[in-house]
Amino acid sequence: MASFNKVILMGNLTRDPERRYTPKGTAVTEFAIAVNRVYSNEGGEQKEEVSYFDIVVWGRQAETAAQYLSKGRPALVEGRLQQDRWESDKGEKRSKIRVVADRVVFLGSGQRGGGQEFREGGPAPERAERAPAEPPAVDTAPEAPAAGREKDDIPF
């Protein structure tokens, strides 16, 4: 039976990233993002729904995320869902689903109206004069462009 597990989320960090290290020295960073959805109800009134997602990042990307991300910053996260299961001290079965990030892209300054547009290798040319002194994205596993397409044609 075939299976597929891929998630792409864009939102703002709800807390500062927390970095720690495994006994072998591998960096692990955890943070959460809030993703907003605006919709109209039956009466035509606009409503907003917010969903919160826990993210875990490993390796060099975990180091960079902990260094440059902070509460309120917008980020794009690409990865997979993972379900953790455990038993509480009272014997209750528990589970939690979180996103294991393969790729994290830093999208802006985190201030309303102050975001930056980034392309691989730096800021978009029309906004280069306002570029922050930090890397725009960390991608430890870059994907090859689809056949017949340039990497810049891929929407994210």
Question: What are 39-98's pLDDT values in tens digits?
Answer: 999 888 999 999 999 999 999 999 999 999 999 999 999 999 999 999 999 999 999 999
Q: What residue ranges define each of the domains in the chain, with the CATH number in brackets?
A: 7-153 (2.40.50.140)
Tell me, what's the pLDDT at 125? Answer: 37
Helix (H) or strand (E) holding 61: helix 59-68
Mean pLDDT computed over 104-122: 52
Determine how many CB atoms are found less than 10 A away from the CB of residue 134: 12
Q: Does 150 or 47 have the greater pLDDT score? A: 47
Instruction: Kindly provide the residue ranges of all beta strands, DSSP E only, lying in 1-156, ordered along the sequence.
Output: 7-13, 18-21, 27-40, 46-58, 74-87, 93-106, 118-119, 122-123, 137-138
Contact 23, 69 (CB under 8 A): no
For residue 83 the two structure tokens come to 């379900």
**pLDDT range class, residue 130, cuts 50, 70, 90:** very low
In this predicted structure, the answer to whether residue 127 has a pLDDT above a threshold of 60 is no
Per the prediction, the chain carries an average pLDDT of 77
Mean pLDDT computed over 111-132: 37
**pLDDT range class, residue 109, cuts 50, 70, 90:** low
For residue 21 the two structure tokens come to 């290290």
Whether the pTM exceeds 0.75: the reply is no
* 8-state DSSP, 143: P
Tell me, what's the pLDDT at 138? Answer: 46
